[in-house]
Every structure is written in C-alpha cells, then in structure tokens.
C-alpha cells in the first residue's frame, strides 16, 4: 500500500472513530434522564385469593406453580367462550399514582386471546377490557398498559380478571400470566 493510500485510510478511520469515541465518552460522563417503574401492588405468586369464572359450556380450571398462573379450558370450545381467574381482595392502592399494569403473558395458540379486565365497581357497567390480544407464537410477552387510556384514572379497583377468550371453534385454550404488578412511572 502506498503512503498516499495509507493516509486516506487513516483519515477515513479518524472520521469514523473520533465521533464514536466522543459519544461513548459522553454516555459515560454526562448523566441522562431515564424511566423506571415503582411497584404499588404486585402478585408474583398467584397462590391465593384467585377464583375461577367462566362463560359457556367449558371444562375450566386454574392453577399456580412457580409464580405462573395457568387458566385452562378443555373440550369442544366454541368461539366466544371465556375463562378467567378473578381476584377481589387486598387491592387497595391509589390508581391515580399506580396506573400502569405490568404483566407477562403467554397463550396456547392463535385461537386464544389473552384477556385482562379491570373492574372499578361490582357493577358490570364499570368493567373495562384493557387487553384482548392474540400472540403469533407461544413465547412470553410483557405488556405495560396505561390505565388512564381506558378512563380508569382515580377510580378504586374492585377486581382484576386474567383469562382468555376463544376466537374460533377449537379444542383447548390456555393463558399463562406472571409478574403482575400495578406501577407508577418515574423519570430519573
């Protein structure tokens, strides 16, 4: 390689490396704003206080193992079948402050929509479906849901439902939930 080509290569490397090094040093030296979630209420065990509810002729069950809630339905499931785990006790916290739901979800297939419903009163008119979603694989997905988007600011919390809805006729459906929390968002 000639001296002229070597100088050109060195110049190109300097043009690329100096800005990269500069940005790396800035990231280390200058503090940056960030966000974090502060937990107001959580259930990472699902061991107690959950009851099973379902709509339609379905063989339903619910179990908890290693911090994972399993809501299961079997039989000749029809479109529209619902199965949920419900929790109504120990839910007193400020929804104005802790308005984000964080939860990881996994379902058994395309015919199963994970479903989260928040009740602010015992009256069904005050039940808000905040998630009804299918997943294109059977891996865990973490959902962070802002309840204020659904008009739930400042309300008391009566009940949480975690479950699934059958989207079309099929055999069985299961929704798994873990790491459920109600959190606030803080800028650091």
pLDDT at 24 over 80: no
Could you report the per-residue pLDDT of 151-173, keeping only the tens digit for each?
887 777 889 999 999 998 988 89
Q: In the prediction, which pLDDT does 32 show?
A: 64
Please say whether the beta carbons of 91 and 47 come within 8 A: no
Please say whether the beta carbons of 145 and 100 come within 8 A: yes
Q: For a pLDDT cut of 90, what percent of the chain falls above it?
A: 40
pLDDT band at 1, cuts 50/70/90? low
CATH architecture of 35-187: Sandwich (2.60)
Considering only CA atoms, which of 91, 93, 158, 88 is closest in space to residue 119?
Answer: 158
H or E element in which residue 40 lies:
strand 35-43
**Helix H segments across the chain?**
3-29
Q: In the prediction, which pLDDT does 20 show?
A: 67
Considering only CA atoms, which of 183, 159, 162, 187 is closest in space to residue 174?
Answer: 162
Judged by DSSP in three states, 16 sits in helix
pTM of the predicted protein model:
0.79
């Amino acid at each position: 390689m000639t001296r002229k080509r070597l100088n050109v290569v060195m110049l190109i490397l300097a043009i690329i490396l100096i800005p990269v090094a500069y940005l790396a040093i800035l990231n280390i030296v200058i503090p940056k704003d960030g966000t974090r979630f502060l937990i107001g209420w959580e259930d990472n065990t699902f061991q107690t206080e959950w009851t099973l509810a379902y709509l339609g002729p379905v063989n339903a069950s619910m179990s908890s193992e290693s911090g994972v809630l399993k809501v299961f339905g079997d039989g000749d499931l029809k479109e529209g079948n619902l199965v949920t785990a419900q929790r109504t006790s120990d839910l007193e916290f400020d929804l104005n402050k802790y308005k984000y739901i964080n939860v990881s979800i996994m379902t058994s297939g395309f015919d199963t929509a994970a479903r989260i419903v928040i009740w602010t009163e015992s009256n069904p008119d005050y039940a808000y479906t905040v998630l009804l979603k299918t997943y294109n694989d059977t891996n865990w997905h973490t959902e962070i849901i802002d309840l204020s988007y659904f008009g739930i600011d400042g309300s008391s919390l009566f009940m949480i439902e975690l479950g699934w809805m059958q989207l079309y006729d099929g055999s069985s459906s299961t929704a798994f939930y873990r790491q459920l929390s109600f959190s606030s968002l803080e800028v650091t």
